[in-house]
Structure 1
């Protein structure tokens, strides 16, 4: 039994837990009116995220998914950081789950010759904004996103990271 979560590549065996974790955070914690139907990518992670220079990881603690992160290949050696969620009890300094997930994704990007990571987030994820900025992401305007970046309706704040 580990005292810290372990980051692993996504496998279909984690699908139910991944969907449950993400929906709980979106709907219960942040009152975002989003459903399973609004996120078909969650039911096709292998074909959406684990393609090209993209991937999807989970943070596992005692056989439970406590965090997720993905990089979506958007071409031109660029990726979109997506689906970064951490269970409330595993946020912060004790477990460092968000840092484990982000460092894993950034290392993957370096190993796969990615030049830039972009992300969009919602205005109410203030702790996430601080986290990204603390980890070297720069806030950018929507006009600065690459044209192939898939902007989600809920995303109003955008970031860039040079790998």
Structure 2
């Protein structure tokens, strides 16, 4: 939006510029920015991407994606500690792959979706959930997610169905 030639050089589009005819929708009562204020951005960030500050100043955060029928999401929240970046993708055979980068002084909890299967979870290539018990990061499950606690810094998080290599 910032660099689009027909935009207003802002993320707050109150009008639309047509290079040939000038300004389109330029009036005091038309706004093209209303969607940004009504909830899609926080819903996509907090729910779909699953990145949500949970503690004062961003000291703690959750990364619990809700993938629905999507295959990829990427985004950032900015806290007083700094940015928290996250991305995820659904992989072949019901697996999951994510990247998480958090600033110094913050700690996160990640939820890895199970997609209804028993899964193994890895952090930076090391198994932390073997399909039934924790092997690190105080892993636990509620059946829908395997939760990892105490994530600090940058990590790669992957999962695979138990029984798949």
* Fold-level similarity (TM above 0.5): no
Q: TM-score, normalised by structure 2?
A: 0.33
Higher share in strand: 2
Q: TM-score, normalised by structure 1?
A: 0.33
Higher share in helix: 1
